Amino acid sequence: MACFVVPAAEAVITTVAAKVLEKKESASESVQVSFNGVTTTEAVKIPFSRKLKWLNNLLWGGSALLAFEHVWHGEVTPWFPFLTATSNPVDAVEMLHEMATAGISMTALVTVVWLAMLGVAKIMEKNAIASAKTLPPAK
Amino acid sequence: MTLLTTVFAAIICTVIWYRNAPESQMHTGILCWMYWGASLMWLVDAVFEYIDVHEEYFTPSPADMLNDLYLGLSVVALGLIIWLVILLIKDPKGVIKASLFQKKDKSGNHR
C-alpha cells in the first residue's frame, strides 16, 4: 500500500548524510595496491561517503520502481491525498501495518546487504594492500 | 513474476557493467543499483506473500502471472527510461552538447 515510503525516508536521510560527510572528508592518503597480484599501483581508498552513495542508489532506485508498482495497482495517485489508503481509517490502519512490517523489513534487508558489501569491500581492500607488500614497488 | 523479471534485468545489467568496468561512460551502474534495490524490496514482498498464502504463492493463475510479467516488463522499461534521461543529461560523450553548436571551419563558415 505504501511500503516504499519507508526505504524512501531512509534514502532521504542517507543522501543528506552522504552530502555532509563528503564536505567533511579530507583527502585519503595513497597506498600501494595490487589488483592482479602481479604488479603494484599507487591508489587511494574510496571515501566512506562514496560507499554511502551505494546505499542511496539501492534505496532510491528500489523505492522509485516500487512506487511505480503502487501506481500500477492504483494505491498511489498523482492527486491529494496521493495514497488512496488514507481516504478511510480502515485502509489507513492496514497501510500503516504494511509500512511497519514490509516497509521496515525492506529497508532492513537493503541496509544489511549494503553492510555485507562494506564487509566484502574491506576484505578486498586489505587483500589488495597485503598482496602489494609481497611484490616489488612500482617503477 | 515481477521479482523474477527484475532479478534477471539486474543480473544482465551487472554483467554488462562488469564487462565495461572500470570504464563507466554509459553509466550502466545506475541500472544495476536500481534493479538490485527493487529486487531486494520485492523479495521481502514475496516473503510476506508466502507467509500469507503458503504454497499457493508458487502456483499463481495464468492471468496473475501474465499481469505480473506485464508489470515486471513495465518496471524494467521505466528503469531504462530513468537511466536514459540521466545518461542524456550527463552526456558523457558530449554528443548532445556538440549537437547544440555548429562548428566553424577555417573560412568562418558554419558546418
pLDDT at B15 over 90: yes
Query: Residue B83 sits in which domain range?
Result: 2-99
Q: What is the ipTM of this complex?
A: 0.86
Asked whether the beta carbons of A69 and B73 are under 8 A apart, the reply is no
pLDDT at A139 over 70: no
Residue in the structure block whose three cell numbers are 512506487: A67
- Phi/psi region, residue B82 (left: phi>0; alpha: psi -120 to 50; beta: rest), is alpha
Is B111 part of a structural domain of the chain?
no
Q: Count of domains in chain B?
A: 1
- Which residues of B are less than 8 Å from A63 in CB distance? 37, 41
CB contact under 8 A, A61 and B45: no
User: For residue A84, what is the DSSP state?
Assistant: G
Mean pLDDT of A122-137: 80
Query: 3-class SS at B108?
Result: coil
Any idea of the CA torsion for A78, A80, A86, A89, to the nearest 10 degrees?
Answer: -150
- Supply the Cα-derived Rg of chain A in whole angstroms: 21
Is B23 part of a structural domain of the chain?
yes
User: For residue B28, what is the DSSP state?
Assistant: H
User: pLDDT tens-digit profile of A69-105?
Assistant: 999 998 888 888 888 888 888 888 988 998 999 999 9
> Which pLDDT value is given to residue B111?
58
- Which residues of A are less than 8 Å from B47 in CB distance? 105
pLDDT at B39 over 60: yes
Is B108 part of a structural domain of the chain?
no
Query: 3-class SS at B100?
Result: coil
Q: Residues 79 to 118 of A: which have CB under 8 A from any B CB?
A: 101-102, 105-106, 109-110, 113
Mean pLDDT of B53-68: 90
Closest chain B residue to A7, measured at CA? B41
Q: What is the mean pLDDT of chain B?
A: 90
Query: 3-class SS at B91?
Result: coil
pLDDT band for A137, please (50, 70, 90 cuts).
low
User: pLDDT tens-digit profile of A14-55?
Assistant: 999 999 998 988 777 777 777 777 777 888 888 899 999 999
Is B24 part of a structural domain of the chain?
yes
Helix (H) or strand (E) holding B37: helix B28-53
> Which pLDDT value is given to residue A27?
75
Is B81 part of a structural domain of the chain?
yes
